[in-house]
Structure 1
Amino acid sequence: MERSGTVDKAVRALEALRESGGSASLAELAARLGMPKATLHRLLASLAAHALVEQDGEGRYRLGVGLIRLGLGAQGLDPVARVARPELERAARAFGETFFLVAARAGRLVVLDKAEGTGLLRAAPTVGAEVPVDLTASGRLYLAHAPELVGAPPACPAAQRAARRGHDVNEGEWIDGLTVIAAPVLARGSLHGCIACAAAAQSLRGDRLDAAVRHTREVAERVARALQGESRR
């Protein structure tokens, strides 16, 4: 597929700002992107006109509030995210840990939404982050139920075991010290995403881990039923 050079450069600039961890100077961005400073300056000026980037008092660039507006708009229009949002919030309040919606979009597994728990821990990853298929509970469930959506080969034995259990557990495989439980949202004969619960590994053991599995599966089932109901309207 032919890509627009200007759009491609703009997306690369936005990604570079995101990866900078806060802000970056024109020279830093130009070096990272391998782009002439004059060209990059014009590009950033166009993005700033739409509030997609902004400059701080020292002239350094950072992501702009316009991206929040676009992101929230896209999230609100996503049918699975719209249905899952109240369930994630309800589960986070009831169980006290962070709950996520993870789904395949454009061949990648990404965090579509999250609701923070009531504890001090704010579990990674962030909304919009890409999730590795081969290192996560949600990834293994996609390998089991819909590998074609993430461009992966047929299910491996671990994915098949997760499918038989109806959930999967990731203990520090992707993020050290973080335990994640994921359950599939299966509706209308296909996988629409995964509900995941994440917490510090030391807090999810024994009965607490069993309770997290139960909560996660219940949320996934409620979201699936809601999607089934929407399809009948």
Structure 2
Amino acid sequence: MERSGTVDKAVRALEALHSSGGSASLAELAARLRMPKATLHRLLASLAVHALVEQDGEGRYRLGVGLIRLGLGAQALDPVARVARPELEQAARAFGETFFLVAARGGRLVVLDKAEGTGLLRAAPTVGAEVPVDVTASGRLYLAHAPELVGADAGRAAPRAVQQARKRGYDVNEGEWINGLTVIAAPVLARGGLHGCVACAAASPNLRGQRLEAAVRHTRDAAESVARSLQGESKR
């Protein structure tokens, strides 16, 4: 597939701004991207015309509101995200912890949506974040049910862990990806395929014993509700 060097540079610039934690100067971005300042300045100027980046009063660059418009538009058009949203919100209200929708898009696992819990703590990751396949509950479920969608990382996960995830119908990741964070994931299986995973995330001390059992139950119930909706079935 033929690629555009300009588009690649633009995406790299946006990703660098995203990882900067807020804003960055032209010099900081040029050094990080190893790109001439003049080239980067022209690129950022084009992105600014479309509100994809903006400058603050000190001339530092940050991500623009146009990205929010595009991101929300893409999310609204995603059929799984549309169906899952009310289920994530209901589960978050009922259980008090954060629930995610994780799905494979373009060969990568990404967080498509997120409903925050009612507690003070807010669980990472953010919407749009890429989720590693080999060390996460959602990743192992994809390897168990649809490895062709995430095949690039299939060889790095323990086969026994993948088999166990498939057998019990959910998986648990305790601090394997993000230290101190426990994640329970359950697959959304509908119409003969895997359409994503519903995941519950919380600080590890909050998910122990009966609390962990309850998290598994809420997560599986939400995933099954999404699957029924995708199949056009009414809720039980």
- TM-score, normalised with respect to structure 2: 0.95
Which residue number in structure 1 is paired with residue 189 of structure 2? 186
- 2:221 and 2:21 map into 1 onto residues whose CA distance is 36
Which residue number in structure 2 is paired with residue 76 of structure 1? 76
Which residue number in structure 1 is paired with residue 203 of structure 2? 200
Contact 2:170 2:220 (8 Å CA) reproduced? yes
- 1:24 and 1:204 map into 2 onto residues whose CA distance is 38
* 1:105-164 alpha-carbon deviations (Å, 9 max, x no partner): 000011000000000110000000011111100011001001110124478111111111
Where does structure 1 differ by over 2 angstroms across 4 or more consecutive aligned residues? 152-155
Matched, 1:7 2:10: no
- Residue aligned with 2:219, SS: helix
- Residue aligned with 2:232, SS: helix
Which residue number in structure 2 is paired with residue 91 of structure 1? 91
* 1:166-187 alpha-carbon deviations (Å, 9 max, x no partner): 0001111111111110000000
| Counterpart among 162, 166, 173 of residue 163 in structure 1 | 166
Which residue number in structure 2 is paired with residue 24 of structure 1? 24
- 2:198 and 2:101 map into 1 onto residues whose CA distance is 5
- 2:34 and 2:176 map into 1 onto residues whose CA distance is 34
- Residue aligned with 2:35, SS: coil
> What amino acid maps onto 2:3 in structure 1?
R
- 1:157 and 1:169 map into 2 onto residues whose CA distance is 14
- 2:203 and 2:43 map into 1 onto residues whose CA distance is 42
Give the deviation of 1:35 after TM superposition.
Answer: 1.2
- Residue aligned with 1:179, SS: strand
- Unaligned runs of 5+ residues in structure 2 are none
Report the RMSD for the aligned CA atoms in angstroms.
1.1
Contact 2:133 2:154 (8 Å CA) reproduced? no
Contact 2:111 2:128 (8 Å CA) reproduced? yes
- 2:48 and 2:148 map into 1 onto residues whose CA distance is 38
- 2:91 and 2:11 map into 1 onto residues whose CA distance is 35
- 1:43 and 1:158 map into 2 onto residues whose CA distance is 45
Which residue number in structure 2 is paired with residue 111 of structure 1? 111
| Counterpart among 196, 206, 230 of residue 227 in structure 1 | 230
Which residue number in structure 1 is paired with residue 175 of structure 2? 172
Give the deviation of 1:39 after TM superposition.
Answer: 1.1
> What amino acid maps onto 1:129 in structure 2?
A
Contact 2:144 2:166 (8 Å CA) reproduced? yes
Which residue number in structure 2 is paired with residue 216 of structure 1? 219
- 1:118 and 1:153 map into 2 onto residues whose CA distance is 35
* 1:9-37 alpha-carbon deviations (Å, 9 max, x no partner): 11111011111111110011111111111
- 1:35 and 1:11 map into 2 onto residues whose CA distance is 13
- Residue aligned with 2:231, SS: helix
- 1:149 and 1:186 map into 2 onto residues whose CA distance is 14
> What amino acid maps onto 1:73 in structure 2?
G
* 1:165-216 alpha-carbon deviations (Å, 9 max, x no partner): 0000111111111111000000000000000000111111111110000000
- Residue aligned with 1:229, SS: coil
